[in-house]
Amino acid sequence: MSRNSAPPYEDVIYGFAKLRTDHPILDLLVETHCRQFHEELDSEENGEIELRPQLPIEFLIRVMLRYSNLRRKMASWPKIGDLNRCDYHGHTSEKERAHCQTNKA
């Protein structure tokens, strides 16, 4: 694992399968994933996308909890009221988005 990337999923899968649940290396895998992961790191070429379904549920839960903890510490993290509802409506054009009734409420 390099200093500038998230841990490879193969390492995460292996670590969570072989180490005690309280082993500090598992905390390191979670922490580095939360700090370094970018979607662009996963590709079909490097095999990461294929490994996503094999990620241990314990890893995913720890990542979820760690992100929650990090969000609480970040004053600039967007609040739910800052979200644009239209981002989740699936509008097919900017015109449709501009005429969305949700934005007028």
In a domain, 3, yes or no: no
**25, part of any domain:** yes
Please tell me which residue, 96 or 2, carries the higher pLDDT value.
96
Quick check: is 2 in a domain? no
Q: For 72-86, write each residue's pLDDT tens digit.
A: 777 666 665 666 778
Range of the domain at 28: 9-74
Q: Are residues 94 and 64 in the same domain?
A: no
30 & 68 share domain: yes
Q: DSSP string covering 21-72, please?
A: TT-HHHHHHHHHHHHH--GGG--TTTTHHHHGGGS-HHHHHHHHHHHHHHHH
The type of residue at 15 is G
Tell whether 22 and 66 lie within a shared domain.
Answer: yes
In angstroms, the Cα distances linking 103 to 78, 86, 91, 92 are 18, 8, 13, 16
Number of domains forming the structure of the chain: 2
Identify whether residues 95 and 51 lie together within a single domain: no
In a domain, 41, yes or no: yes
Reported pTM: 0.71
pLDDT digits (tens, 9 = 90+) for 41-51: 898 889 999 99
